[in-house]
Amino acid sequence: MINITFPDGSVRRFEDGVNAYAVAESISPRLRKATLAAELNGELYDAALPIHGDCTLKLLTFADDGGKWTYRHTGSHILAQAVKRLWPEVKLAIGPAIDNGFYYDFDTDIPFSPEDFPKIEKEIAKIVSENLPLERSELPREEAIRFMQEKDEPYKVELIRDLPEDAVISFYRQGDFVDLCAGPHLESTGKCKNIKLMSVAGAYWRGSEKNKMLKRIYATAFEKKADLDEYIHMLEEAKKRDHRKLGKELGLFAMMDEGPGFPFFLPKGMVLKNKLIDYWREVHKRYGYVEISTPIMLNRSLWERSGHWDHYKNNMYTTVIDDVDFAVKPMNCPGGMLVYQTEMRSYRDLPLRMGELGLVHRHELSGALHGLFRVRCFTQDDAHIFMTPEQIRDEIKNVAGLINQVYSLFGFKYHVELSTRPEDSMGSDEDWELATNSLQGALDDLGLDYVINEGDGAFYGPKIDFHLVDAIGRTWQCGTIQLDFQLPQRFELEYIGADGEKHRPIMIHRVCFGSIERFIGILIEHFAGAFPTWLAPVQVKVLPISEKYEEYAKSVKAALDAADIRAEIDLRSEKIGYKIREAQGQKIPYMLVVGQKEQADGTVSVRSRFAGDEGQKNLETFIADIQKEIADRVKREVVKEDEK
């Protein structure tokens, strides 16, 4: 008999050699049906394999990451089997599960395209309906090589040859299809339903451009069809919201061949960026921060002291000035250390909260560049907080409160992760225990739900990450709070304590937007370009019905300008319906239509992005209303037809 410990701490005895499916069945038939894989002593494990010896066990369903991975990894084998049935001459490469799906790489001259998807999906459905068991087997290295050679699968042979000498070489069979695989997998193909092929791409074997280009088919799979339909809808919505497409259509930013990865902000994009920065400054002033600015380029000795020269040099842009090596800053932190050192600090000066909107440069590979999401230069909204050990908990709560206020303004929900000490960490056990307990205590004080991400902290300290959720359910990691005992030591930072002695401050690294450029990209997609009025580059479009009313339209725009409302006027000789549709396409919050009646009454006919026709208003009343909406940073919701 063996003892199996479950996640809730309970222990049950089973026959040695029991598998996870049987364990699940002993708890409930419903759990047995839902179980897809297991986590055995912290490692992903095939639920059909025997369990030997005392262990910890977690049964995984589709709600668990390991369950999703197993489900989709089985989907990749079904895809490969379908392709081999249709085109037997195709050679198999690899087929892992990935975030939100899976892919399989094939060596073939067949130009796979979406037109082939219905034929492949039909074969996939057939394999699923056959409900073929997935059976695991093992072979010694030389037998495994011969087996794959007989099947004429050269990529599998290469993979086996590269495995360690003591590696277990395993295969999974489903009907007439066998693949080299470590697993785990579902018990049969019939358990893996709702497979959808997504796209085709080229991919070099093993990621090296020196190797052959393979054909990669991307796909996804969900346990429930409703979840698959929701995911497809989300992807379609994401295409409409693509910030690269909307950024171009709305005249916000451009990417040029002359500067790949270096965004150009256009006039309307600069309005958006500056409004975010204005808000950033307002919030930080309220929370007791001072603002600094540090040089964009500093010499090698600084980067050696900070550790970046040894650990980050390949991502840094360097040059030589007066025979001395310099680097363009990839982070703001070392400059902040130097600012702290400009004078001797007292414990009465702490906490010292220093914010910086610093332009940083990092060398990203060209293939990784992606609109505003992955660039080579960006404005990082850093802050560095220097404090005493007793102040840590309150400062963490202060930062969390600031981040919550900012995200709530934009309508973002978020979840929190606490990342603990990694294996390659620096510092004493005592420092790490104090830092981790302080972060955890602050989160508990705030009543925030959080997940502990074991071993994923920075090398210099634990951290809290804020993952915000956008309008279509995607998550983005933006805000972070990192405790650092190491940089203050490297830079020998000091303060005079109440005892008159010198002490080492503790430091927080903290970002809220993360990268302003990236945050703008997220906002574009979150709002689909339809920004709240306070943030919209153009807040009002004045639309005269004909040229007879141009002078009155100009006076309306002048009044808006005087009230500091961002307005444009459309004086083209176009029909008013066309002008309205175009303004709507530009996502402008308000359109003021003016004609004979409006001119006679000193009014404007108001159309909004939120409620459509809002009727006639006195101009002064409209200005007062929109000024309040802007000042309060109100996010007006779109009124549905049945609510009007």
Query: How many angstroms separate the CA atoms of 42 and 55, rounded?
Result: 10
Q: Is 380 a catalytic residue?
A: yes
Q: Is 463 a catalytic residue?
A: yes
Do residues 454 and 406 make contact, with C-beta atoms less than 8 angstroms apart? Answer: no
DSSP-assigned letters across all residues of 566-617 = -EEE--SSS-HHHHHHHHHHTT-SEEEEE-HHHHHHTEEEEEETTTEEEEEE
Q: Is 362 a catalytic residue?
A: yes
Write down the catalytic residue from 382, 465, 470, 484: 382
Query: How many angstroms separate the CA atoms of 633 and 442, rounded?
Result: 29
Do residues 467 and 419 make contact, with C-beta atoms less than 8 angstroms apart? Answer: no
What are the CA-CA distances from residue 125 to residues 175, 302, 312, 470, 479 (Å)? 15, 61, 48, 34, 43
Closest listed residue to residue 522, CA positions, set 632, 373, 351, 405? 373
Query: How many angstroms separate the CA atoms of 361 and 375, rounded?
Result: 9
Write down the catalytic residue from 509, 510, 587, 607: 509
Q: Is 333 a catalytic residue?
A: yes
Write down the catalytic residue from 374, 384, 566, 609: 384
* Element housing 397 (H / E): helix 392-409
Q: Which residues of 317-326 are buried (b: 16+ CB within 10 A; e: fewer)?
A: eeeeeeeeeb
Write down the catalytic residue from 77, 273, 308, 362: 362
Query: How many angstroms separate the CA atoms of 96 and 80, rounded?
Result: 11
Q: Is 393 a catalytic residue?
A: no
Q: Tokens representing 415?
A: 């979840």
Quote the Cα angle for 550-553-558, to 5°: 125
Do residues 216 and 103 make contact, with C-beta atoms less than 8 angstroms apart? Answer: yes
Write down the catalytic residue from 181, 333, 377, 478: 333
Q: Tokens representing 65?
A: 């990451």
Q: Is 382 a catalytic residue?
A: yes
- Show the 3-state SS of 19-84: CHHHHHHHHCHHHHHHCCEEEECCEEECCCCCCCCCEEEEEECCCCHHHHHHHHHHHHHHHHHHHH
In the chain, count of helices (H) and strands (E)?
A: 20, 34
Write down the catalytic residue from 193, 329, 463, 579: 463
DSSP-assigned letters across all residues of 427-483 = S-HHHHHHHHHHHHHHHHHHT--EEEETT-SBTTB-EEEEEEE-TTS-EEEEEEEEE
Write down the catalytic residue from 81, 174, 380, 599: 380
Q: Which residues are catalytic?
A: 333, 362, 380, 382, 384, 463, 509
